Amino acid sequence: MTSSVTPATPVLEVRDLEVTFGSGHSAAKVLKGVSTAILRGKTLGIVGESGSGKSTLAKAIVGLNPVSAGSIAVNGKDVSRMSAAERRAMRREVQMIPQDPYSSLNPRRTIGQTLAEAIDPVRSNPRLHTDRITHWLSTIRLDPDVATRYPHEFSGGQRQRIAIARALAVEPRLIIADEITSALDLSVQAEILNLISRLRTELDLTMAFISHDLDVVHHVSDDIMVLFHGEVVELGDVDSVYGAPRHPYTRKLIDSVPGGPGFDIGERRQAAA
């Protein structure tokens, strides 16, 4: 059978998506007609304040939130129409890097065991995957010897690096990074953002990068989507949105960046030096 996926097919395409929690008088529509797409090798920054619907969208994409209306397609396939087998495969094609580096790793499993399970859930003995475990740890700039250690032995920034390696080890088509720097201090944020910037180039990543910080999104994204109360109020290439915002809410986000519109991620990078 000829594949319907072409180079122009978005890795992710969201059309008129609605997510509603509750029913009847207690129903709350959290996402209201959201539409966007991410092409292969591109990063879409999704930005908005707490409660704007960012994490709800992320969880809907990976199948953790039910969709009330609209569609989500991964590589041209509507998630809602997938068979059980296709859904299982899709879970490996779309990987999420979580916000909290302290609770996202199993404390009873070594780093090697965690990565081996990501590489092959069936044959997850680290000894079977030594070369690939070494590769992914080297990719995130950690010594391969850490494979024998446990999560409690690492700092928050190191744990977040390991969570990134775990997502990459699956070799997904799409990565969703959900507020991955918000639990880290300023200097460690810079280290993680520098890592993401490097990996985007080296691995040609396709990613949805979610943050409340428009300045962070500006520096790691090709395009930006601004969510406000569950609606898309701005969508375009990163320089256009950041340099000439059309919606007052986007301007508010820019003005709220520490130090004002002139604040630059270089300050974070200097803190990491």
Q: What is the pLDDT of residues 179-199, one digit of tens each?
A: 998 888 888 999 999 999 999
SS3 223: strand
Q: In the predicted model, what is the mean pLDDT of the chain?
A: 88
pLDDT for residue 54 is more than 80: yes
Instruction: Give the tokens for residue 264.
Output: 């630059």
pLDDT of residue 230: 96
SS3 62: coil
3 band by pLDDT with thresholds 50, 70 and 90: very low
219 band by pLDDT with thresholds 50, 70 and 90: confident
The residues, any chain, with a CB within 8 Å of residue 242's CB and separated by 6 or more, are: 214, 218, 224, 254
The DSSP line for 100-168 is: -TTTSS-TTS-HHHHHHHHH-SSS--GGGGHHHHHHHHHHTT--GGGGGS-GGGS-HHHHHHHHHHHHH
Q: CA 247, CA 4: separation in Å to the nearest integer?
A: 37
- Bridge-based pairing state of the strands 94-97 and 174-178: parallel
- Bridge-based pairing state of the strands 207-211 and 43-47: parallel
pLDDT of residue 232: 97
Domains of the chain: 12-272 (3.40.50.300)
Average pLDDT score over residue span 60-87: 87
Instruction: Give the tokens for residue 149.
Output: 């250690």
pLDDT of residue 6: 56
162 band by pLDDT with thresholds 50, 70 and 90: very high
16 band by pLDDT with thresholds 50, 70 and 90: very high
pLDDT in tens, 108-141: 999 999 999 999 999 999 999 999 999 999 999 9
